[in-house]
Structure 1
């Protein structure tokens, strides 16, 4: 499996706008990591450097032994899969199945292996019942799962999701949680940008907090959601469970409903 390391990385867009300012980050193989922060913190620019869509202006992005500066985006995409925030930036086939099949087909796999990957990805995301549909006949929230299935079918070591919960209802978020759990069980590294702190609290063991183009802190959700200095710097709110527990006078650590229940019973 593959570790991901960013060493003193900065990125400036044409015109000189600095989007990421000398950050260092290490994500171990198999970790499930949420990157959080307000708009403009540098999150999307950072993850786009992880799969070669952008190249660092300074520093190095290392994927295992690969330095992204030395490889094409197509080569990197075989190791790092990326799900865009807007699925319409990614979909270009006229059926769900053909969209999901495109990546494995380009890898020139055997037909048997190609079929296995497509069927697995469609089933995991719940898109098997839509496989003959045109993706653009589906609601935006469902189209997101089409692009997720397409990336899963590539079977990359690392998968990046940019705001997958945006526009999802409770059922969609539950499906996303199940997908993350399955990928984690398969040993995949999953990196997710999210503004949904409840979703982060429920689904991740590690958080990386960004603000003003820098990394403010990394740690567990239990640590970060009760670190009010970090939350203030990044302009983030605690999950609602933590806010209730704080209002009740609890000292810290509770981020999930079961945590709050245990705390209440113990009192």
Structure 2
């Protein structure tokens, strides 16, 4: 369980950018949304110790982040940054994924097993000898996830995982996220993509000016006036409202609802 209690954070010499945040999550997909500057990434960096609270507490599976190093916390919470290329510096996919376990002191046999498992988990088996920078956008994103997975974290923070991807690449990343959830990982999904929230999230948290304004169901979240927070209502929900059929999460659901409504 991730538990955040009354979290305040201020960068040196500045005002608080996080103000009294309370939050918890387990093995679920939670979408963290809000306009730029609302504190989403600052908050997420507290979960693996990249930042420490100015006030309040961040507890990961019973351990206070103040008492643990980033390396120790990375075994519990893996952070996949918005631009995956910033994570790459090795000459091959295998070496890239092996870097984390190697630094954890794993044996060669353990490293082989972890790399194989991580690449299979994201659908990149057979890519071991490829150069990371030769991969497509979606493949790079999945490789970044594999690099984090190889350290066997229970929780994953995915920061804008589909930004800049074409439809095919986005679909492959979405499939990977669904598989990760099925395999028991808790996932914090930071995104501006409301279609992604609609498809993947089991719960939504809305930040605005460093405060948590909403924490609840996906259905009720989309009843909020999102435009006030620089967020866009998915086209699917706009269409559903035109047909007056209520909340739906897929085009198939919309078609069934419309057909059942007799329109």
Partner residue, 1:156: 153
Matched, 1:238 2:233: yes
In the superposition, relative to structure 1, how do residues 19 and 89 fare at CA in structure 2: closer, same or farther (>3 Å)?
Answer: farther
Between stretches 79-88 and 140-149, larger displacement belongs to 140-149
TM-score normalized by structure 2? 0.93
Equivalent-residue separation in structure 2 for 1:140 and 1:232 (angstroms): 29
Q: Tell me the TM-score normalised to structure 1 length.
A: 0.92
- In the other structure, the counterpart of 1:257 is 251
Gap runs ≥5 in structure 2: none
Q: Quick check: 201-210 or 139-148, which moved more?
A: 139-148
**CA RMSD after TM alignment:** 1.7
Distance 1:31 1:138 in 2: 29
3-state SS of 2:231 partner: coil
**Structure 2 CA distance, aligned partners of 1:92 and 1:15?**
34
Match of 1:19 among 13, 17, 28: 17
2-structure distance, mates of 1:207, 1:215? 11
Aligned counterpart for 1:88 among listed residues 76, 85, 90? 85
Deviation sequence 1:168-221 (CA, Å, 0-9, x none): 122222212221222112211111101111111111211111111111111121
Q: Distance in 2 between matches of 1:190 and 1:73?
A: 18
What is the aligned partner in structure 1 of residue 111 from structure 2?
114
CA contact 2:240–2:247 (8 Å) conserved in 1: no
Contact map agreement 1:223 1:253 (CA 8 A) in 2: no
Judge conservation of contact 2:142–2:176 (CA < 8 Å) in 1: no
CA apart distance, 1:247: 2.4
- Match of residue 172 from structure 1: 169
Offset, 1:125: 2.0
Q: Answer yes or no: is 1:71 the counterpart of 2:68.
A: yes
Long gaps (5+) in structure 1: none
2:222 corresponds to = 225
Greater shift, 156-165 or 13-22, is seen at 13-22
Task: Give aligned pairs, total.
Answer: 261
User: Partners of 1:129 and 1:218 in 2: how far apart?
Assistant: 41
Paired residues for 1:49-60 under 5 Å: 49-60=46-57
Distance (whole Å) between structure 2 residues aligned to residue 256 and residue 226 of structure 1: 17
Name the CA distance, whole Å, in 1 between partners of 2:153 and 2:5: 22
